Structure 1
Amino acid sequence: MTSDHGLTGRTTQGPVLTRGGEAETCADPSAVMALFADSAQTGGAFTSYRSAFAEGAPGAPAHVHTRAWEVFFVLGGSLQVLLGEEVTLLHQGDFLAVPPGTPHAFRAAPGSGADVLCVFTPGMDRFDYLRLLGRVTRGEEPPSRLAETSERFDNHYVDSPVWRATLEAPQ
């Protein structure tokens, strides 16, 4: 359902409601993701999900998005994040918006778990990517599948000496 709401040239989708107990979940050994709204449900405006990382969970390696902003809101715990060439910690209540082209990575901060609301805008079929990522993490698909889908999912892995050093540092 679409409506104009009086904004010239702007059409919006109807409301999207996903009840917490009804959200599809994707799980791997280190995280559980609750999938809230994907691109098809929002007319391409955004994709949103919640990631609950176990203590010491690896999160995502260094990567960039060429078309989408990635937004993080920390609901609980702490998230260690690479932003370009700097590493920072996000804590409960912190908000971060990463623009396209910015190398970034994240993981549960050492000694902590992390509960994070994630949003991509514009939206894309991120749920398919998260499902694939779960299969790769569980060993059901080879890691090469992620590289094969980088254009489709706008997820391009990059090398980051800063992030590698962070991961290798004693905790």
Structure 2
Amino acid sequence: MSDPAGESTGSTGDELEAIRERKLAKLREKAAEGTLGTDADEGDDAGNGAGSPDEPIHYEGGSFEEALAGHDLVLVDFHADWCGPCKMLEPILEDVAATTSATVLKVDADVHQGLTSQYGVRGLPTLLLFRGGEPVERLVGAQNEERLRSVIDRHAS
């Protein structure tokens, strides 16, 4: 259940349902505008910055620095398919990607163990916020949407 300020008061299911409802409303709005499935940055009123993808990007390998390049603020999610808290975080990260200036980059910790080790990831999920290619914040464990927005807002330009 959530209070009027949106703080979680115990029911993660209610929080996830609220996120799903917001995403569904956004999809319906895009469908009505005829922009569903386009890559056009519509400058939605939620404040998604120009150049920031509306969906999380999956890191497939190659240069991690290049994956960060071109995005001022990147929230990197180190996750695994078997991780329950990681799965709970997925819809929250989708909403954050769609409605903030941060780019969300998902890194499978099992596939990219060298990168996981390089950044000292010891527990999953671990979220690292990069600004200008440099890590500026680390969050370990499942986080609520308000916490992620607060961290992103603090480091946004």
Q: Please, what TM-score do these two structures have when normalized by structure 1? A: 0.23
**Which structure's CA Rg is the greater one?**
1
Q: Please, what TM-score do these two structures have when normalized by structure 2? A: 0.24
The structure where helix makes up a greater share of residues is: 2
The structure where strand makes up a greater share of residues is: 1
